[in-house]
Amino acid sequence: MFLFRWLKRIIKAILWLVVIVVLIPIAGLGYGFLTTPSLDTTPLPGVTEGAPPKALADKVRAEIPGYQRPEESTFLTYPEWAIVYAAREYAGFVDKNQPSGFPYLSYIGRFWQDYAMVIRASSTYKFNLDNHQMLVVIGTSHTIEHAIQWAYENTVGRVTEATAGKRTAIDIYQAKVAADYAGFLDQVPWYQFPYAEKRAGLFAVQPAADDSAVRTSERKLAFGLADTIKQGYADLIKSALAATTDPALLDIHVWAKGPVSEVTRNEPDTLLERDLGGDGTVFVTRRYQVFTDMIPRLIGKGVSFVEIGGNDEIMVTMLSNDEINVPEGARTLFSYPLPAEPSTRRTGLTIAVRKLHLVLPALMTAGARLEHVYDY
């Protein structure tokens, strides 16, 4: 009888956990749609200007494997990067402050607002099931992790902060790990991060002479447990991905004009693929932050773009201190102050690829900083 009651309680707890996990994306997207405005989805002015000859464009698509990427992915990759930015902003915050002060709940809400906005932005395209499945999974994980960390840091964490009275050696170590993690995510998926290695480093930290023993022990216990759970979860994700999905596409094809051959010669992981004479050159290069960092260099040396990933619209985010004026060939998707750093604004823009060489310099001259080009 006792065993039956025990099993019944376990089953009930599991069912409640399933219900909560299912409700997270439903409630999150409900919040996102209710707290963000509708978007202008009319065709972007100037997007067809300077389009390549259709016969040539069709030939390029037919002859270069992987050239064409789904255009809606430029929007649907943004919420995944928003989680990267949350990690980056957390690292910047805890470099100078205690983690209990970080606005965890704001970053939960921000993710679902971002997801709702890109659903609106991609509504005219075919529904991309793979992208949406991934966003629901990572959004749910992001929500659970930040909610637990908020609750813990604002109870136990605040108590041990008070006993320490200052940032201890273990706090400084964890801030460095946060910075390592944020930098790692620029180019590599989170589940490849060496959590076990960082846990070993955590346990090896020696407190300073005046550090609180309570704070040191609590941080080692809490973050050691967190690293153990994350390493186990990461190993499961790696195994599941290896068994069920194709590897992520790490390269992007770019059709450009100007001194492409000369300019790309010294760019890492970049190869010329097709010389199209007066119609430009197709080259292939690495995706993610490497690609973003390359774009201003190419523009500065006289390169303009015909297509990126086979598309003529692309999403870009800029950081600035004030609201920015949007140049011709671009449209604002969103603009908001960073939760952990309200003096900085993030602005998302849809830009016509063939106007990119004009729009980005105009924005940067006005004081905005390029954050990311979302390469499908």
pLDDT bucket at 7, cuts 50 / 70 / 90 = confident
List of residues 6+ apart from 39 with CB closer than 8 A: 117, 120, 121, 333
d(CA 42, CA 164): 56
pLDDT bucket at 356, cuts 50 / 70 / 90 = very high
What confidence tens digit (pLDDT) does each residue in 203-239 have? 999 999 999 999 999 999 999 999 999 999 889 888 8
235 and 111, same domain (yes or no): yes
Is the pLDDT at 358 greater than 80, yes or no? yes
Q: What is the count of structural domains for the chain?
A: 2
What confidence tens digit (pLDDT) does each residue in 81-94 have? 999 999 999 999 99
- Round the average pLDDT of the chain to a whole number and report it: 93
Residue 46 lies in a domain: no
182 and 197, same domain (yes or no): yes
pLDDT score of 1: 63
Residue 33 lies in a domain: no
Compute the average pLDDT of residues 257-261. Answer: 96
pLDDT score of 13: 72
282 and 297, same domain (yes or no): yes
Residue 193 lies in a domain: yes
218 and 307, same domain (yes or no): no
What confidence tens digit (pLDDT) does each residue in 150-194 have? 999 999 999 999 999 999 999 999 999 999 999 999 888 888 999
Q: Which of 18-32, 105-119, 124-138, 230-244 has the highest mean pLDDT?
A: 105-119
- 3-class DSSP state of 370: strand
Q: What's the domain range around 123?
A: 76-244
Residue 319 lies in a domain: yes
61 and 188, same domain (yes or no): no
210 and 310, same domain (yes or no): no
277 and 133, same domain (yes or no): no
d(CA 107, CA 149): 12
178 and 298, same domain (yes or no): no
Which of 224, 244, 264 is where one domain is finished?
244
Which of 229, 244, 259 is where one domain is finished?
244
Residue 8 lies in a domain: no
The percent of residues in the chain predicted with pLDDT above 70, rounded, is: 97
User: DSSP secondary structure string, 106-127?
Assistant: HHHHHHHHHHHHHHHHTTTSPP
353 and 217, same domain (yes or no): no
Is the pLDDT at 248 greater than 70, yes or no? no
